[in-house]
Structure 1
Protein backbone atom coordinates (compact mmCIF):
# COMPACT_ATOMS: atom_id res chain seq x y z
CA UNK A 1 0.00 0.00 0.00
CA UNK A 2 2.83 2.44 0.84
CA UNK A 3 4.29 1.83 -2.61
CA UNK A 4 0.96 2.68 -4.29
CA UNK A 5 0.45 5.79 -2.16
CA UNK A 6 4.00 6.90 -2.82
CA UNK A 7 3.57 6.62 -6.56
CA UNK A 8 0.23 8.46 -6.43
CA UNK A 9 2.05 11.29 -4.65
CA UNK A 10 4.75 11.32 -7.30
CA UNK A 11 2.13 11.50 -10.03
CA UNK A 12 0.86 14.77 -8.59
CA UNK A 13 4.19 16.47 -9.22
CA UNK A 14 4.75 18.22 -12.57
CA UNK A 15 8.22 16.67 -12.93
CA UNK A 16 6.86 13.12 -13.15
CA UNK A 17 3.83 14.08 -15.22
CA UNK A 18 6.26 15.11 -17.95
CA UNK A 19 8.99 12.62 -17.10
CA UNK A 20 11.21 10.79 -19.52
CA UNK A 21 11.14 7.33 -17.98
CA UNK A 22 13.88 4.74 -18.37
CA UNK A 23 14.74 1.37 -16.89
CA UNK A 24 18.12 -0.10 -16.00
CA UNK A 25 18.77 -3.82 -15.53
CA UNK A 26 21.53 -4.44 -12.97
CA UNK A 27 22.91 -7.99 -12.83
CA UNK A 28 24.17 -9.92 -9.80
CA UNK A 29 27.48 -11.56 -8.94
CA UNK A 30 29.73 -12.14 -11.94
CA UNK A 31 31.75 -10.31 -14.55
CA UNK A 32 29.30 -9.60 -17.34
CA UNK A 33 29.99 -8.49 -20.91
CA UNK A 34 26.59 -9.41 -22.40
CA UNK A 35 24.16 -9.49 -19.49
CA UNK A 36 21.18 -8.96 -21.76
CA UNK A 37 21.64 -12.40 -23.30
CA UNK A 38 23.72 -14.26 -20.72
CA UNK A 39 22.17 -13.09 -17.46
CA UNK A 40 18.64 -11.78 -18.02
CA UNK A 41 17.90 -13.22 -21.48
CA UNK A 42 16.66 -11.11 -24.34
CA UNK A 43 13.08 -12.35 -23.83
CA UNK A 44 12.97 -10.99 -20.28
CA UNK A 45 14.47 -7.59 -21.12
CA UNK A 46 12.36 -7.07 -24.23
CA UNK A 47 9.16 -7.99 -22.40
CA UNK A 48 9.75 -5.63 -19.48
CA UNK A 49 10.82 -2.61 -21.54
CA UNK A 50 7.55 -2.66 -23.47
CA UNK A 51 6.05 -0.97 -20.41
CA UNK A 52 8.01 2.19 -21.12
CA UNK A 53 6.45 5.11 -22.99
CA UNK A 54 9.58 4.87 -25.16
CA UNK A 55 10.71 1.23 -25.22
CA UNK A 56 14.21 2.22 -26.33
CA UNK A 57 14.85 4.00 -23.01
CA UNK A 58 16.56 1.06 -21.36
CA UNK A 59 20.05 -0.07 -20.50
CA UNK A 60 21.51 -3.41 -19.45
CA UNK A 61 24.50 -2.98 -17.15
CA UNK A 62 27.71 -4.95 -17.75
CA UNK A 63 30.20 -4.65 -14.87
CA UNK A 64 32.60 -6.73 -12.81
CA UNK A 65 30.55 -7.68 -9.78
CA UNK A 66 33.17 -10.19 -8.72
CA UNK A 67 34.66 -7.27 -6.77
CA UNK A 68 33.66 -5.69 -3.46
CA UNK A 69 30.58 -3.51 -3.88
CA UNK A 70 32.51 -0.23 -3.52
CA UNK A 71 35.22 -1.17 -6.02
CA UNK A 72 35.65 0.99 -9.12
CA UNK A 73 34.92 -2.08 -11.26
CA UNK A 74 31.65 -2.63 -9.39
CA UNK A 75 29.92 0.51 -8.02
CA UNK A 76 32.21 2.74 -10.07
CA UNK A 77 31.35 0.94 -13.28
CA UNK A 78 27.65 0.90 -12.37
CA UNK A 79 27.67 4.61 -11.64
CA UNK A 80 29.43 5.36 -14.91
CA UNK A 81 26.98 3.34 -17.00
CA UNK A 82 23.89 4.64 -15.19
CA UNK A 83 24.97 8.27 -15.48
CA UNK A 84 25.87 7.84 -19.15
CA UNK A 85 22.43 6.35 -19.79
CA UNK A 86 20.71 9.16 -17.87
CA UNK A 87 22.60 11.88 -19.72
CA UNK A 88 22.55 10.34 -23.19
CA UNK A 89 18.82 9.58 -23.12
CA UNK A 90 17.73 12.56 -21.03
CA UNK A 91 16.23 10.30 -18.37
CA UNK A 92 14.40 12.14 -15.57
CA UNK A 93 12.60 9.14 -14.03
CA UNK A 94 14.69 5.98 -13.64
CA UNK A 95 13.45 2.60 -12.43
CA UNK A 96 16.25 0.22 -11.53
CA UNK A 97 15.66 -3.53 -11.69
CA UNK A 98 18.39 -5.46 -9.96
CA UNK A 99 19.03 -9.05 -8.97
CA UNK A 100 20.89 -10.77 -6.13
CA UNK A 101 24.23 -9.10 -5.26
CA UNK A 102 23.39 -6.27 -7.66
CA UNK A 103 21.10 -5.04 -4.90
CA UNK A 104 24.11 -4.62 -2.60
CA UNK A 105 26.01 -2.61 -5.20
CA UNK A 106 22.96 -0.40 -5.70
CA UNK A 107 22.57 0.06 -1.96
CA UNK A 108 26.22 1.13 -1.73
CA UNK A 109 25.52 3.96 -4.18
CA UNK A 110 22.27 4.93 -2.44
CA UNK A 111 23.86 4.81 1.04
CA UNK A 112 27.05 6.72 0.28
CA UNK A 113 26.23 9.83 -1.75
CA UNK A 114 29.43 11.61 -0.72
CA UNK A 115 31.68 8.73 -1.80
CA UNK A 116 31.53 9.66 -5.49
CA UNK A 117 30.37 12.86 -7.19
CA UNK A 118 28.32 10.82 -9.64
CA UNK A 119 26.17 9.23 -6.96
CA UNK A 120 23.93 12.24 -6.11
CA UNK A 121 23.24 12.84 -9.79
CA UNK A 122 22.06 9.25 -10.17
CA UNK A 123 20.04 9.16 -6.93
CA UNK A 124 18.15 12.32 -7.91
CA UNK A 125 16.81 10.56 -11.03
CA UNK A 126 15.79 7.23 -9.45
CA UNK A 127 12.09 6.68 -8.82
CA UNK A 128 12.71 3.41 -7.01
CA UNK A 129 14.64 0.14 -7.13
CA UNK A 130 12.92 -3.20 -7.75
CA UNK A 131 15.19 -5.73 -6.06
CA UNK A 132 14.69 -9.30 -7.26
CA UNK A 133 16.06 -11.81 -4.74
CA UNK A 134 18.51 -9.30 -3.26
CA UNK A 135 21.22 -10.76 -1.01
CA UNK A 136 20.84 -7.99 1.57
CA UNK A 137 21.76 -10.13 4.59
CA UNK A 138 24.15 -12.43 2.75
CA UNK A 139 23.90 -16.20 2.41
CA UNK A 140 25.32 -19.21 4.28
CA UNK A 141 26.41 -20.54 0.90
CA UNK A 142 28.98 -17.74 0.65
CA UNK A 143 30.39 -18.82 4.00
CA UNK A 144 30.64 -22.39 2.75
CA UNK A 145 32.35 -21.42 -0.51
CA UNK A 146 34.77 -19.05 1.21
CA UNK A 147 35.73 -21.48 3.95
CA UNK A 148 36.49 -24.14 1.35
CA UNK A 149 34.72 -26.98 3.10
CA UNK A 150 33.25 -30.04 1.44
CA UNK A 151 30.30 -27.98 0.24
CA UNK A 152 32.52 -25.72 -1.88
CA UNK A 153 32.21 -27.93 -4.97
CA UNK A 154 28.43 -27.84 -4.74
CA UNK A 155 28.22 -24.04 -4.62
CA UNK A 156 31.16 -23.06 -6.79
CA UNK A 157 29.09 -23.22 -9.97
CA UNK A 158 26.59 -20.84 -8.39
CA UNK A 159 28.87 -18.33 -6.69
CA UNK A 160 32.11 -18.43 -8.62
CA UNK A 161 34.08 -19.64 -5.61
CA UNK A 162 35.87 -17.25 -3.25
CA UNK A 163 35.88 -13.97 -5.16
CA UNK A 164 35.68 -10.71 -3.24
CA UNK A 165 31.96 -10.53 -4.04
CA UNK A 166 31.43 -13.98 -2.56
CA UNK A 167 33.42 -13.09 0.57
CA UNK A 168 31.31 -9.94 0.86
CA UNK A 169 28.09 -11.99 0.91
CA UNK A 170 29.09 -14.03 3.96
CA UNK A 171 26.44 -13.57 6.63
CA UNK A 172 28.74 -11.97 9.21
CA UNK A 173 30.37 -9.71 6.64
CA UNK A 174 27.01 -8.42 5.39
CA UNK A 175 25.95 -7.84 9.00
CA UNK A 176 29.02 -5.61 9.41
CA UNK A 177 28.38 -3.69 6.19
CA UNK A 178 24.70 -3.26 7.03
CA UNK A 179 25.58 -1.91 10.47
CA UNK A 180 28.28 0.48 9.28
CA UNK A 181 28.18 1.22 5.56
CA UNK A 182 24.72 0.55 4.15
CA UNK A 183 21.24 1.93 4.74
CA UNK A 184 17.86 0.26 4.62
CA UNK A 185 18.15 -2.59 7.14
CA UNK A 186 16.49 -2.78 10.56
CA UNK A 187 17.73 -0.05 12.89
CA UNK A 188 19.59 1.84 10.15
CA UNK A 189 18.59 5.04 8.31
CA UNK A 190 16.23 4.59 5.41
CA UNK A 191 17.38 4.62 1.81
CA UNK A 192 16.80 7.85 -0.15
CA UNK A 193 14.54 6.03 -2.65
CA UNK A 194 12.22 3.06 -2.38
CA UNK A 195 13.90 -0.35 -2.38
CA UNK A 196 11.18 -2.92 -3.08
CA UNK A 197 11.89 -6.63 -2.78
CA UNK A 198 10.53 -9.57 -4.74
CA UNK A 199 11.16 -12.63 -2.58
CA UNK A 200 11.60 -16.15 -3.96
CA UNK A 201 10.45 -18.79 -1.47
CA UNK A 202 11.16 -22.23 -2.94
CA UNK A 203 12.70 -24.31 -5.74
CA UNK A 204 10.88 -26.87 -7.85
CA UNK A 205 12.86 -29.29 -9.99
CA UNK A 206 10.62 -32.22 -10.80
CA UNK A 207 11.37 -33.55 -14.29
CA UNK A 208 7.64 -34.18 -14.65
CA UNK A 209 6.68 -30.56 -13.96
CA UNK A 210 6.98 -28.24 -16.93
CA UNK A 211 7.37 -25.23 -14.65
CA UNK A 212 10.68 -26.65 -13.40
CA UNK A 213 12.17 -26.04 -16.85
CA UNK A 214 11.56 -22.27 -16.87
CA UNK A 215 14.96 -20.61 -16.72
CA UNK A 216 16.78 -23.91 -17.26
CA UNK A 217 16.10 -27.24 -15.60
CA UNK A 218 19.75 -27.97 -14.77
CA UNK A 219 20.13 -24.68 -12.89
CA UNK A 220 16.95 -25.31 -10.94
CA UNK A 221 18.10 -28.81 -10.09
CA UNK A 222 21.36 -27.40 -8.72
CA UNK A 223 19.43 -24.87 -6.63
CA UNK A 224 17.32 -27.71 -5.26
CA UNK A 225 20.55 -29.25 -3.96
CA UNK A 226 21.90 -26.05 -2.40
CA UNK A 227 18.54 -25.36 -0.79
CA UNK A 228 19.23 -28.22 1.61
CA UNK A 229 21.66 -25.91 3.44
CA UNK A 230 19.16 -23.06 3.72
CA UNK A 231 15.88 -22.30 5.50
CA UNK A 232 12.61 -23.83 4.39
CA UNK A 233 11.76 -20.46 2.90
CA UNK A 234 14.53 -19.88 0.37
CA UNK A 235 15.13 -19.70 -3.36
CA UNK A 236 18.03 -22.14 -3.44
CA UNK A 237 20.63 -19.42 -2.95
CA UNK A 238 19.17 -17.00 -0.41
CA UNK A 239 16.96 -17.33 2.62
CA UNK A 240 13.77 -15.31 2.40
CA UNK A 241 14.96 -13.28 5.40
CA UNK A 242 17.99 -12.10 3.40
CA UNK A 243 15.90 -11.16 0.40
CA UNK A 244 13.57 -9.14 2.64
CA UNK A 245 16.38 -7.73 4.78
CA UNK A 246 16.61 -4.20 3.34
CA UNK A 247 13.94 -1.80 2.21
CA UNK A 248 10.42 -3.17 1.92
CA UNK A 249 8.87 -6.39 0.62
CA UNK A 250 6.90 -5.77 -2.55
CA UNK A 251 5.60 -9.33 -2.81
CA UNK A 252 6.49 -12.97 -2.29
CA UNK A 253 6.58 -15.11 -5.43
CA UNK A 254 3.44 -17.14 -4.68
CA UNK A 255 1.46 -13.92 -4.32
CA UNK A 256 2.22 -13.42 -8.01
CA UNK A 257 1.25 -16.92 -9.15
CA UNK A 258 0.91 -20.44 -7.79
CA UNK A 259 4.56 -21.10 -8.62
CA UNK A 260 7.64 -20.21 -6.54
CA UNK A 261 10.58 -18.42 -8.12
CA UNK A 262 13.99 -20.02 -7.73
CA UNK A 263 17.01 -17.73 -7.61
CA UNK A 264 17.55 -18.37 -11.30
CA UNK A 265 13.91 -17.88 -12.28
CA UNK A 266 13.70 -14.47 -10.59
CA UNK A 267 15.86 -13.01 -13.38
CA UNK A 268 13.97 -14.73 -16.19
CA UNK A 269 10.63 -14.56 -17.95
CA UNK A 270 8.90 -16.99 -15.60
CA UNK A 271 5.35 -17.15 -14.23
CA UNK A 272 4.36 -13.60 -15.18
CA UNK A 273 7.20 -11.80 -13.37
CA UNK A 274 8.08 -9.92 -16.55
CA UNK A 275 4.50 -8.65 -16.86
CA UNK A 276 4.47 -7.36 -13.28
CA UNK A 277 7.75 -5.51 -13.84
CA UNK A 278 6.51 -4.21 -17.19
CA UNK A 279 3.29 -2.86 -15.68
CA UNK A 280 5.30 -1.23 -12.87
CA UNK A 281 7.01 1.07 -15.37
Structure 2
Protein backbone atom coordinates (compact mmCIF):
# COMPACT_ATOMS: atom_id res chain seq x y z
CA UNK A 1 0.00 0.00 0.00
CA UNK A 2 1.39 3.29 -0.91
CA UNK A 3 2.45 5.83 1.72
CA UNK A 4 0.09 8.42 0.31
CA UNK A 5 -2.93 6.16 0.93
CA UNK A 6 -1.85 5.38 4.49
CA UNK A 7 -1.40 9.03 5.22
CA UNK A 8 -4.91 9.86 3.99
CA UNK A 9 -6.53 7.15 6.10
CA UNK A 10 -4.66 8.31 9.20
CA UNK A 11 -5.84 11.87 8.68
CA UNK A 12 -9.48 10.79 8.43
CA UNK A 13 -9.26 8.77 11.66
CA UNK A 14 -7.67 11.67 13.48
CA UNK A 15 -10.45 13.98 12.32
CA UNK A 16 -13.13 11.57 13.54
CA UNK A 17 -11.50 11.42 16.97
CA UNK A 18 -11.24 15.19 17.27
CA UNK A 19 -14.84 15.86 16.28
CA UNK A 20 -16.42 14.86 19.65
CA UNK A 21 -13.91 17.02 21.50
CA UNK A 22 -14.79 20.03 19.38
CA UNK A 23 -18.48 19.46 19.94
CA UNK A 24 -17.96 19.12 23.69
CA UNK A 25 -15.89 22.28 23.78
CA UNK A 26 -18.65 24.18 22.03
CA UNK A 27 -21.36 22.89 24.42
CA UNK A 28 -19.47 23.61 27.69
CA UNK A 29 -18.15 27.13 28.42
CA UNK A 30 -14.53 27.27 29.25
CA UNK A 31 -13.51 28.14 32.79
CA UNK A 32 -10.38 29.67 34.02
CA UNK A 33 -8.09 27.28 35.81
CA UNK A 34 -8.90 26.89 39.50
CA UNK A 35 -12.03 29.18 39.16
CA UNK A 36 -14.90 28.21 41.44
CA UNK A 37 -17.91 26.72 39.78
CA UNK A 38 -20.82 29.15 39.46
CA UNK A 39 -23.57 28.57 41.99
CA UNK A 40 -26.71 27.11 40.52
CA UNK A 41 -29.48 29.63 40.10
CA UNK A 42 -32.37 29.01 42.53
CA UNK A 43 -35.55 27.82 41.01
CA UNK A 44 -38.27 30.44 41.18
CA UNK A 45 -41.98 29.94 41.00
CA UNK A 46 -44.40 32.78 40.25
CA UNK A 47 -46.25 33.95 43.42
CA UNK A 48 -50.05 33.77 43.47
CA UNK A 49 -51.89 37.06 44.14
CA UNK A 50 -53.20 37.53 47.75
CA UNK A 51 -56.93 37.88 47.14
CA UNK A 52 -57.65 38.52 50.86
CA UNK A 53 -55.47 41.60 51.15
CA UNK A 54 -57.24 45.01 51.37
CA UNK A 55 -55.89 48.44 50.86
CA UNK A 56 -55.88 51.00 53.71
CA UNK A 57 -58.77 52.77 52.04
CA UNK A 58 -60.83 49.58 51.98
CA UNK A 59 -60.07 48.94 55.65
CA UNK A 60 -61.27 52.43 56.55
CA UNK A 61 -64.49 51.94 54.59
CA UNK A 62 -65.17 48.60 56.26
CA UNK A 63 -64.55 50.05 59.72
CA UNK A 64 -66.79 53.04 58.98
CA UNK A 65 -69.56 50.74 57.80
CA UNK A 66 -69.24 48.61 60.94
CA UNK A 67 -69.49 51.68 63.17
CA UNK A 68 -72.52 52.89 61.23
CA UNK A 69 -74.24 49.54 61.77
CA UNK A 70 -73.43 49.67 65.49
CA UNK A 71 -74.80 53.21 65.65
CA UNK A 72 -78.00 52.13 63.88
CA UNK A 73 -78.41 49.25 66.32
CA UNK A 74 -77.99 51.61 69.27
CA UNK A 75 -80.50 54.05 67.80
CA UNK A 76 -82.93 51.18 67.26
CA UNK A 77 -82.57 50.06 70.87
CA UNK A 78 -83.12 53.59 72.16
CA UNK A 79 -86.16 54.10 69.92
CA UNK A 80 -87.68 50.80 71.09
CA UNK A 81 -87.10 51.69 74.74
CA UNK A 82 -88.68 55.12 74.23
CA UNK A 83 -91.75 53.54 72.63
CA UNK A 84 -92.12 51.13 75.54
CA UNK A 85 -91.86 53.95 78.07
CA UNK A 86 -94.46 56.05 76.25
CA UNK A 87 -96.88 53.13 75.98
CA UNK A 88 -96.50 52.40 79.69
CA UNK A 89 -97.20 56.01 80.63
CA UNK A 90 -100.22 56.13 78.31
CA UNK A 91 -101.56 53.04 80.03
CA UNK A 92 -101.17 54.74 83.42
CA UNK A 93 -102.89 57.89 82.12
CA UNK A 94 -105.83 55.80 80.90
CA UNK A 95 -106.11 54.11 84.29
CA UNK A 96 -106.26 57.47 86.04
CA UNK A 97 -108.93 58.73 83.65
CA UNK A 98 -110.96 55.57 84.31
CA UNK A 99 -110.69 56.07 88.10
CA UNK A 100 -108.29 53.16 88.52
CA UNK A 101 -105.73 55.28 90.36
CA UNK A 102 -104.62 52.53 92.73
CA UNK A 103 -103.70 50.31 89.77
CA UNK A 104 -101.98 53.31 88.22
CA UNK A 105 -99.77 53.65 91.30
CA UNK A 106 -98.75 49.99 91.03
CA UNK A 107 -97.84 50.44 87.37
CA UNK A 108 -95.85 53.56 88.22
CA UNK A 109 -93.86 51.54 90.76
CA UNK A 110 -93.06 49.05 87.99
CA UNK A 111 -92.18 51.87 85.60
CA UNK A 112 -89.80 53.51 88.06
CA UNK A 113 -88.18 50.17 88.81
CA UNK A 114 -87.49 49.51 85.13
CA UNK A 115 -86.81 52.96 83.72
CA UNK A 116 -86.32 55.26 86.69
CA UNK A 117 -88.71 58.06 87.58
CA UNK A 118 -88.91 61.11 85.34
CA UNK A 119 -90.97 64.29 85.23
CA UNK A 120 -93.91 62.69 83.45
CA UNK A 121 -94.08 59.67 85.75
CA UNK A 122 -93.89 61.96 88.80
CA UNK A 123 -96.76 64.06 87.46
CA UNK A 124 -98.87 60.93 86.98
CA UNK A 125 -97.91 59.70 90.44
CA UNK A 126 -99.04 62.99 92.00
CA UNK A 127 -102.33 62.79 90.08
CA UNK A 128 -102.85 59.21 91.25
CA UNK A 129 -102.10 60.10 94.86
CA UNK A 130 -104.60 62.97 94.67
CA UNK A 131 -107.23 60.69 93.12
CA UNK A 132 -106.77 58.25 96.00
CA UNK A 133 -107.12 61.08 98.57
CA UNK A 134 -103.46 60.87 99.63
CA UNK A 135 -103.36 64.65 99.53
CA UNK A 136 -100.25 65.32 101.61
CA UNK A 137 -98.12 62.97 99.51
CA UNK A 138 -99.64 64.31 96.31
CA UNK A 139 -98.78 67.88 97.27
CA UNK A 140 -95.18 66.93 98.05
CA UNK A 141 -94.73 65.34 94.63
CA UNK A 142 -96.40 68.26 92.86
CA UNK A 143 -94.18 70.77 94.64
CA UNK A 144 -91.06 68.78 93.80
CA UNK A 145 -91.91 69.38 90.13
CA UNK A 146 -91.95 73.15 90.61
CA UNK A 147 -88.24 73.29 91.46
CA UNK A 148 -85.36 73.16 89.02
CA UNK A 149 -85.94 72.78 85.31
CA UNK A 150 -89.27 72.58 83.54
CA UNK A 151 -90.90 75.75 84.85
CA UNK A 152 -92.49 76.24 81.45
CA UNK A 153 -94.29 72.92 81.99
CA UNK A 154 -95.65 73.83 85.41
CA UNK A 155 -99.24 74.45 84.24
CA UNK A 156 -100.45 70.90 85.01
CA UNK A 157 -98.56 71.00 88.32
CA UNK A 158 -100.35 74.16 89.48
CA UNK A 159 -103.61 72.66 88.31
CA UNK A 160 -102.98 69.55 90.44
CA UNK A 161 -102.12 71.70 93.43
CA UNK A 162 -105.34 73.63 92.87
CA UNK A 163 -107.32 70.40 92.90
CA UNK A 164 -105.61 69.38 96.16
CA UNK A 165 -106.71 72.68 97.71
CA UNK A 166 -110.28 72.13 96.48
CA UNK A 167 -110.31 68.67 98.07
CA UNK A 168 -109.25 70.27 101.34
CA UNK A 169 -111.95 72.94 101.05
CA UNK A 170 -109.37 75.75 100.84
CA UNK A 171 -111.02 77.71 98.03
CA UNK A 172 -108.84 80.82 98.27
CA UNK A 173 -105.66 78.79 97.88
CA UNK A 174 -107.34 76.80 95.12
CA UNK A 175 -108.18 79.98 93.21
CA UNK A 176 -104.61 81.26 93.47
CA UNK A 177 -103.14 77.99 92.24
CA UNK A 178 -105.61 77.60 89.39
CA UNK A 179 -104.96 81.17 88.29
CA UNK A 180 -101.22 80.35 88.12
CA UNK A 181 -102.02 77.25 86.08
CA UNK A 182 -103.89 79.35 83.52
CA UNK A 183 -101.10 81.93 83.40
CA UNK A 184 -98.65 79.22 82.41
CA UNK A 185 -101.09 77.30 80.21
CA UNK A 186 -103.80 79.65 78.86
CA UNK A 187 -105.59 76.81 77.04
CA UNK A 188 -106.09 74.48 80.01
CA UNK A 189 -109.84 73.88 79.77
CA UNK A 190 -110.05 71.95 83.04
CA UNK A 191 -108.32 74.76 84.91
CA UNK A 192 -110.87 77.29 83.58
CA UNK A 193 -113.76 75.01 84.49
CA UNK A 194 -112.59 74.37 88.05
CA UNK A 195 -111.57 77.99 88.60
CA UNK A 196 -114.99 79.17 87.41
CA UNK A 197 -116.64 76.82 89.89
CA UNK A 198 -114.36 78.07 92.70
CA UNK A 199 -115.30 81.66 91.85
CA UNK A 200 -118.94 80.59 91.90
CA UNK A 201 -118.62 78.99 95.33
CA UNK A 202 -116.85 82.11 96.57
CA UNK A 203 -119.73 84.28 95.33
CA UNK A 204 -117.71 86.08 92.64
CA UNK A 205 -120.44 86.48 90.04
CA UNK A 206 -118.66 88.09 87.08
CA UNK A 207 -115.33 86.24 87.38
CA UNK A 208 -117.24 82.98 87.65
CA UNK A 209 -119.33 83.67 84.53
CA UNK A 210 -116.40 84.88 82.41
CA UNK A 211 -114.20 81.95 83.37
CA UNK A 212 -116.90 79.35 82.81
CA UNK A 213 -117.73 80.86 79.41
CA UNK A 214 -114.06 80.59 78.37
CA UNK A 215 -114.07 76.95 79.38
CA UNK A 216 -117.38 76.33 77.59
CA UNK A 217 -116.29 77.86 74.30
CA UNK A 218 -112.85 76.25 74.39
CA UNK A 219 -114.46 72.86 75.01
CA UNK A 220 -117.19 73.42 72.39
CA UNK A 221 -120.10 72.83 74.72
CA UNK A 222 -118.80 70.17 77.14
CA UNK A 223 -121.76 68.89 79.18
CA UNK A 224 -119.96 69.18 82.53
CA UNK A 225 -119.01 72.81 81.90
CA UNK A 226 -122.51 73.62 80.65
CA UNK A 227 -123.90 72.11 83.86
CA UNK A 228 -121.70 74.49 85.87
CA UNK A 229 -123.06 77.38 83.81
CA UNK A 230 -126.60 76.22 84.56
CA UNK A 231 -125.67 76.12 88.25
CA UNK A 232 -124.31 79.66 87.94
CA UNK A 233 -127.65 80.74 86.41
CA UNK A 234 -129.61 79.22 89.30
CA UNK A 235 -127.33 80.71 91.96
CA UNK A 236 -127.39 84.21 90.47
CA UNK A 237 -131.05 84.10 89.39
CA UNK A 238 -130.55 83.82 85.63
CA UNK A 239 -133.25 81.16 85.36
CA UNK A 240 -133.75 81.51 81.61
CA UNK A 241 -130.15 80.54 80.92
CA UNK A 242 -130.33 77.68 83.42
CA UNK A 243 -133.52 76.26 81.90
CA UNK A 244 -132.17 76.65 78.36
CA UNK A 245 -129.08 74.63 79.25
CA UNK A 246 -131.19 72.01 81.05
CA UNK A 247 -133.32 71.61 77.90
CA UNK A 248 -130.30 71.38 75.60
CA UNK A 249 -128.74 68.71 77.81
CA UNK A 250 -132.11 66.95 78.07
CA UNK A 251 -131.96 66.72 81.82
CA UNK A 252 -134.49 64.54 83.54
CA UNK A 253 -136.67 66.00 86.28
CA UNK A 254 -134.49 64.22 88.83
CA UNK A 255 -131.31 65.88 87.46
CA UNK A 256 -133.01 69.30 87.41
CA UNK A 257 -134.03 68.88 91.03
CA UNK A 258 -130.50 67.84 92.05
CA UNK A 259 -128.94 70.91 90.41
CA UNK A 260 -131.57 73.19 91.97
CA UNK A 261 -130.85 71.67 95.39
CA UNK A 262 -127.13 72.29 94.88
CA UNK A 263 -127.78 75.92 93.90
CA UNK A 264 -129.91 76.47 97.03
CA UNK A 265 -127.13 74.99 99.17
CA UNK A 266 -124.65 77.47 97.70
CA UNK A 267 -127.03 80.36 98.36
CA UNK A 268 -127.38 79.34 101.98
CA UNK A 269 -123.61 79.26 102.20
CA UNK A 270 -123.50 82.83 100.91
CA UNK A 271 -126.03 83.89 103.51
CA UNK A 272 -124.00 82.28 106.29
CA UNK A 273 -120.86 84.09 105.17
CA UNK A 274 -122.69 87.37 104.52
CA UNK A 275 -121.79 87.37 100.79
CA UNK A 276 -123.33 90.09 98.65
CA UNK A 277 -124.09 89.35 95.04
Is the shorter-chain TM-score for this pair beyond 0.5, marking a shared fold?
no
Question: TM-score normalized by structure 2?
Answer: 0.24
| Structure with higher strand content | 1
Q: Which has the higher contact order (CA 8 A, sep 6+)?
A: 1
Question: TM-score normalized by structure 1?
Answer: 0.24
